[in-house]
Structure 1
């Protein structure tokens, strides 16, 4: 019997690999001879570095970089040595969670640290990059990141513009003189699940600026500055297209990657499924197991477990999912390839108790054991349920 697990992290409770190993433990209680292949799963957001690095025999790296407020932060990222790939979450260097509520102001927050992380990975031999760009605190159009990589964003006096969106107000010239030579050898897969353009009513300033601390007047100003920045970039870089879907992601970081580097914006789950070669494992499986911390109607709209289910159904596989809690409209997941899902809580406890790592792993293993016993006792088809 061959079972493949690909479970998203139960955020704040279990990592992707911990969840998969807990399922394997439960299954092996019922069937010591079962082959359980634990594969990592993430959607390109929080948890992607941990999932891909630990699940693909990579190593964790730590580097001190410039945080969104211009002060030092420690950013952790992963390197998968076999393919020379760096796995980075931009939020680790420029995320909104790094900025206290009272200091949130996109006029001053910078992506410079993101560029420093990329530079560190390049120095360590990486030429392939997987970068999740969700959760940013910034609206600088990615200029900070590009400055760290050697691009010049200069004011009328030839000085580098200041950090933050305010720097775009005085931007006059873009130069390439000091760009890292190795950058032209690098390829970037950017996990981006938003379709906003750089400017306009659906641009990053209008849609995401307020949650980063922007006032209505700031939104208007930043949108104009970004428009001018895009026009200036377009004179020198033919790929510049501020209307392209995703250019507004992470305060314009999507635009920076597409314009100044060899990058593609893709669905985060698509990147993860391809990089982990999950389809190859599923093709030979008898049963596929997935899940996440809470399954609800949002899960059914294309989150990581649905991506797994879609692959499994290409080969007619039964798909079982485990979840910490089933929310509103969770049954819609059944319409998208998940044959049955099972909450793992086994008695009435507080949320804090339920989310303790040891409790969550035990509950998942115990539930997986009983569900597997039922599946094995039947025909292994959805009719069991």
Structure 2
């Protein structure tokens, strides 16, 4: 019996690797001779870079960079074992996770630190980049990142413009770096917002980054201005591309400055971990995440895994902490079944601390059920 493990993390309690370990122990108790392939997964958000680094046998690298307000920090990213692919999350250097709530200010925030991470990866010889852009604290359309990579932004007097969100409207000319990037880039992007307008980066995401109503209007006008400058100078129209408004416009910045391709985060992870290549000959896929609800239907990890496994007629069972999805929703996901690992009422602290044992026990129960006719 071949079993493919492909869980996400159980947020707050277990990493995806730990979920795989717990599932493996449960399988061994029920079916000692099973062939187990463990592929810790992620949905393109936080933790994706680490998962992909592990999946490719790579190394985790920590370097000096600048945070969204240009303060020195230590930030990390991964490089695959063949040294060809870098896995970078912009939140490591330009994310909300680095800031206290009382200091949020997208007018003054920059993606320069993310550009520094990319530059460091290039200096190590990588030729491919997988960039996660969730959790941003910025609204600068990626001009900070671009500045770190050698782009210059000049005002109408030919003077340099500091690459902050508040200064987007001052840009009159963009000056490319002397040497072009020798890098192919995939961006894990799960939103479809345009760059500007009522459903754009500033209006939808600006307030959660600390922007007032006046700030939002200024940022939106800045994004609109930059898009017009790029179209006038380079003939590239970024405005309405789905995902251009992701991460404060970094989606558009990645498209233009990095010549990137925007892809669903789940698809990026599944491709990098070679999930589909492991499906032939598989008898069961075990996946899971902390909570399965109607949001799981909206393109997240379990949906992607179940639909891909369905192409190979492989049943998919999901484990979770909280199970809120209705039967018809589980069927729509393509799941054979889903089980909560919680077996009795308990506090949140108890559920989190006991998650490993709960996953192991539930996995054992599932395998015993599936294997009941072979004893």
* Fold match (TM-score > 0.5): yes
1:48 and 1:344 map into 2 onto residues whose CA distance is: 24
Partner of 1:297: 294
1:77 and 1:59 map into 2 onto residues whose CA distance is: 9
Q: Is the 8 A contact 1:2 1:286 kept in 2?
A: yes
C-alpha change, 1:83 and 1:239, in structure 2 (3 Å) is: farther
2:102 and 2:241 map into 1 onto residues whose CA distance is: 33
- Distance apart, 1:158 and its partner CA: 3.5
Report how many residues are paired. 374
C-alpha change, 1:189 and 1:378, in structure 2 (3 Å) is: farther
Q: Is the 8 A contact 1:237 1:259 kept in 2?
A: no
| Mean CA deviation greater in 315-324 or 346-355 | 346-355
Q: 1:130-167, CA deviations, whole angstroms, 9 ceiling, x for partnerless residues?
A: 11111111111110000000000122444432242112
- Where 2:181 maps in the other structure, the secondary structure is helix
Partner of 1:309: 306
- Distance apart, 1:353 and its partner CA: 2.4
1:237 and 1:260 map into 2 onto residues whose CA distance is: 11
1:98 and 1:329 map into 2 onto residues whose CA distance is: 37
- Where 1:235 maps in the other structure, the secondary structure is helix
Which of 181, 184, 187 is the matching residue for 1:184?
Answer: 181
Partner of 1:235: 232
Q: Is the 8 A contact 1:44 1:131 kept in 2?
A: no
1:331 and 1:353 map into 2 onto residues whose CA distance is: 30
Q: Is the 8 A contact 1:299 1:333 kept in 2?
A: no
- Where 1:184 maps in the other structure, the secondary structure is coil
1:74 and 1:45 map into 2 onto residues whose CA distance is: 20
Q: Is the 8 A contact 2:149 2:177 kept in 1?
A: no
- Where 1:283 maps in the other structure, the secondary structure is coil
Partner of 2:40: 40
Which of 207, 211, 214 is the matching residue for 1:214?
Answer: 211
C-alpha change, 1:234 and 1:217, in structure 2 (3 Å) is: same
- Where 2:289 maps in the other structure, the secondary structure is strand
1:9 and 1:306 map into 2 onto residues whose CA distance is: 15
1:200 and 1:78 map into 2 onto residues whose CA distance is: 35
Are 1:195 and 2:199 counterparts?
Answer: no
Partner of 1:26: 26
- Where 1:81 maps in the other structure, the secondary structure is coil
Are 1:339 and 2:319 counterparts?
Answer: no
1:85 and 1:148 map into 2 onto residues whose CA distance is: 20
- Where 2:233 maps in the other structure, the secondary structure is coil
Partner of 1:258: 255
Q: 1:172-213, CA deviations, whole angstroms, 9 ceiling, x for partnerless residues?
A: 2211244xx3x5310110011111111111111111111111
In structure 2, list runs of 5 or more residues that go unmatched. none
Q: Is the 8 A contact 2:320 2:340 kept in 1?
A: yes
| Mean CA deviation greater in 328-337 or 85-94 | 328-337
- Distance apart, 1:347 and its partner CA: 3.5
- Where 2:3 maps in the other structure, the secondary structure is strand
Q: Is the 8 A contact 1:15 1:51 kept in 2?
A: no
Q: 1:39-60, CA deviations, whole angstroms, 9 ceiling, x for partnerless residues?
A: 1211110110121112221111
Are 1:365 and 2:329 counterparts?
Answer: no
Partner of 1:349: 346
In structure 1, list runs of 5 or more residues that go unmatched. 380-385
Q: Is the 8 A contact 1:115 1:147 kept in 2?
A: yes
Q: Is the 8 A contact 2:302 2:333 kept in 1?
A: no
Partner of 1:383: none
- Distance apart, 1:223 and its partner CA: 1.4
Are 1:133 and 2:128 counterparts?
Answer: no
RMSD: 1.6
2:30 and 2:245 map into 1 onto residues whose CA distance is: 50
